[in-house]
Copies of this chain bind each other. A is one copy, B any other.
Amino acid sequence: MISRESVIKDLHAIQSQSPLVHNITNYVVMNTTANALLAVGASPVMAHAVNEVEDMVKIASSLVINTGTLSKSWIDAMIKAGKTARERDIPMVFDPVGAGATSYRTKTALQIIKECRPRVIRGNASEIMALVNEKGNTKGVDSIATSESALHAARLLTKDTGAVIVISGPVDYIIDNQSAIEVRNGSPMMGKVTGMGCSATALVGAFIAVNRNFLLASAHAMTVMGIAGELAAKKSDGPGTMQMHFLDELYTLSDKEIADLFDVK
């Protein structure tokens, strides 16, 4: 069961273990997600060369794959890293950025899921719907659909893949075959900063590195993300200050803040 205490426990575990999180992600957010991982206490590394991803993932505690900016050689590296991670039982989270926007993205996402079998898939409503061939009305990389509308798709997807599915939006849904958790933390300002979804995925990477209950770990990550976002939004005048305060809040997040703001069922 998720609780204030379970969130706090995992966050402390990340801070004390500083797990190495291997990221193969997109150009737009590399700096942002590396900083988010550092702020939460993890140790990020980015490596995408086909020649080194196997070696890198073998020393990592988790793997984050994100298809925000794709090309052939990157896809090859993602699949090689993802397969190695699965063989070695190193947990992987997958972010199918822009699935549904082009058939190339949708196909690539499905191929990665099939070949790498990620433990967690996190996307917005449109992306999750695109993965099960439902119309999600993607607008580039942004979703027009609501999280609620993607719940059916998520249930199909978790059944088909065995992965925990995270749909992020005003309410985040984290589901597997048995359970569903709703994280109500967060702020609309988070949607005004590029890469917030990608940062959420990276944080899931940090939490699954320290907790093998992937449903709970994912929900913990989304809770921490949402609470830091709420706290940052209160201090922010726009997306510039939001981006900055978000990192500060992630870094200084206290047990009391988590306990006070926890809004999950």
- Residues of chain A touching chain B, judged by Cβ–Cβ distance below 8 Å, are 18, 20, 22, 26-32, 34-35, 38-39, 43-52, 55-56, 59-60, 68-73, 98, 101-105, 139-142, 192-195, 236-241, 243-252
Contacts and interface: CB of A to CB of B under 8 A. Distances in A.
Contacts of A35: 193-194, 239-240, 243
Contacts of A44: 140, 194
Given A193-B38, A240-B247, A244-B240, A68 B46 contact: yes
Contacts of A52: 70, 102-105
Max count, chain B CB within 10 A of own CB: residue among A34, A39, A244 = A244
A237 B186 CA distance: 21
Max count, chain B CB within 10 A of own CB: residue among A26, A51, A241 = A51
A55 B238 contact: no
Contacts of A45: 98, 101, 140-141
Given A35-B243, A238-B39, A238-B251, A70 B47 contact: yes
A247 to B, nearest CB: 3
Max count, chain B CB within 10 A of own CB: residue among A30, A43, A139, A141 = A30
A103 to B, nearest CB: 6
A47 B98 contact: yes
Contact of A55 (B56, B104, B195): B104
Contacts of A142: 43
Contacts of A49: 70-72, 104
A16 B242 CA distance: 22
A104 B51 contact: yes
Contact of A239 (B20, B39, B239): B39
A248 B252 contact: no
A38 B141 CA distance: 12
Nearest to A192: B38
